[in-house]
Homo-oligomer: A and B are copies of this chain.
């Protein structure tokens, strides 16, 4: 006990330092559509010396294996962790994606692309319903409303076109010509 008293204290310090960052990730990871506790899972895997199994995560976080399974899947879909194979190891192994730029892009692209497409579809359908109404109605007041709505929806469409272009900027990687990746600088 005397011989490794310092070691235990140091390991504790290490954990504390790591936890400082992990808890901050947990608080902010909602931007990636990830819940805080899955954010802690990410942080745990991030600081692990080697790829982790679901059982190790469960053990380390004191949470059920089921939660680890669903949590890891969420992280995987956000391109925030990746699976690793090791010869002779039957369990699934996961480590954090090292290219954070890629994780960011994946999340940003898939979420916004998906939303944009659906909204554009909705706009087109709404417009078509309004067009029909505008032609069949005999009430001038309604005609006016229809015209106004069609106008605003066309504006919305233009906006989504812009969003789409922004997404493409990230998807194509051209964003990195405009905003270059940073070199590591020691502070």
Q: Mark A106-123, 1 if CB is under 8 A from B, else 0.
A: 000001100100110111
Stretch at the interface among A55-63, A71-79, A83-91, A175-183: A175-183
Between A and B, 22 residue pairs with Cβ closer than 8 Å are A6-B137, A7-B139, A10-B136, A10-B137, A13-B133, A14-B145, A17-B129, A21-B122, A24-B118, A25-B119, A28-B118, A31-B111, A47-B149, A49-B145, A100-B155, A100-B156, A104-B163, A124-B187, A155-B184, A157-B184, A158-B185, A162-B182
Q: Which residue of B lies closest to A12 (CB)?
A: B133
A161 x B182 contact (CB < 8 A): yes
* Interface size in chain A (residues, C-beta < 8 A): 73
